[in-house]
Structure 1
Amino acid sequence: MGKRIAPALGLFFLSPLIGEFLLGNLPVTMLVALITLAPLYGGGALLVRELARRRGVGWPGIVLLAVAYGLIEEGLVTRSLFNPGFAGMDLRSYAWIPGVEVSAWWTVFVLGVHVVGSICVPIAVMESLVPARASEPWLRRPGLVVAGCCSSWGRRPRRCSRRIRTIPGSGGSRAWPCWRACWCSSPCAAAPPPRRAPSGPDGGPGAGRCSRSRWRPGPRSGCP
């Protein structure tokens, strides 16, 4: 049994490793965050792959399901697609589509991150490690139920992510929603949100530092 589900377990943990750590959203020193990230990302990647392989739709189906995963994640869970001020960004200034009320730039960017980094690349890597089983399902029906429950549970902590604006050491002011989920699922979430030192050219604590995160578009102030 262990050998049969080994590829599924590998995908379960590889998806957050690639989608968050390899892309640089979280530092490797925060590997403990896999406890929260694996159900969220790994559960979704398993559902996408199993549905596609069981239906025999191949990679086109995997890509389409990955897009659906990204739309659910960013449209219904974090709601970043319809929030012009998400994470302190002014998305109305970047390819804003009136009527639809979304930023074309942000939509393409964040969906691309989910489709490529969270779903397709982890699936391709794991299937290349077990080529004999690359086109067959890895889970039975109980396994699909467990994967679905893990994915649903992984989305639950993100509801409180609005409380956290910036987490020290998270790599930027955007703090990447999954990192907020890890924070909110821990006892530290009960503490008041941390405050950042103001930045500016007047010699304050944050003087000389870049004022935008690497995920935020537009010119940087105070950057070389």
Structure 2
Amino acid sequence: MADFAQNADRSFGDKLLGFFIKEDPASANVPAAQPTPSRVTQPVSAGQASTPAQSGAGSGPLASSPIGSVDTKFVDHFAGVLSKANLQGPDYFEFREILKNLSNLGLPEDKQFQAAWASFKAMAATGDPSVLATAANQYLTALSTDRDAFLKSVDAAMKERVGGLQEEQQKLQADNESIAKQITELQQRVTANTDRLTKITGEVAEQSSKISQNRANFEATYATFTDQIKADVSKIATYLK
């Protein structure tokens, strides 16, 4: 049953894609299950389909929004949303299918709508065109509700993933700034130490010279005293008998 529902949604998705969008011939052979975005030319002449990327609401935390393109996985997703909201009996989608079949006849737009309405009245057994707008608005409400839920999940993902990365980014930047400050302080210490080393080299030579001279003076003075005393001792022994 699940496979049947999935296949039904995919078939409905293919029909939706055909209702609203003309594909380039170059992309016509791309498998429906392939998750790459479909290349799109322009909406069918009978009307335009708005996409979230074209509407101004729901801007996220990103500074700039990328340009979106129709993605087959989202076509399948919206097919599921619209399938759940699908009304019993002929309604807007059947009218849209008739309108699409008339789009290649070269009729003016008003004639296309009038011809489609004439066929739809016979199918739906109603002469009130408001049933189309009522059904279409119900589908718009279903899509809008789904979009709101999707945007909330996008915001949550932004906060969880991008927010976590931004927090790590700020920590790394602060860490780099702290390291850079430490490097600057270390460089300043190296410069100060180098200057001091240069001064110490001169001071060592100066102090060594002073100390060596002081020692030499001490030894010279010592020799003068001891030599005089030794001379006196010798003379005492010679002269005083």
Normalised to the residue count of structure 2, the TM-score between the two structures is: 0.24
Normalised to the residue count of structure 1, the TM-score between the two structures is: 0.25
Higher-Rg member (1/2): 2
Structure number with the bigger relative contact order (C-alpha 8 A, sep ≥ 6) is: 1
Between Structure 1 and Structure 2, which shows a larger proportion of helix residues?
Answer: 2
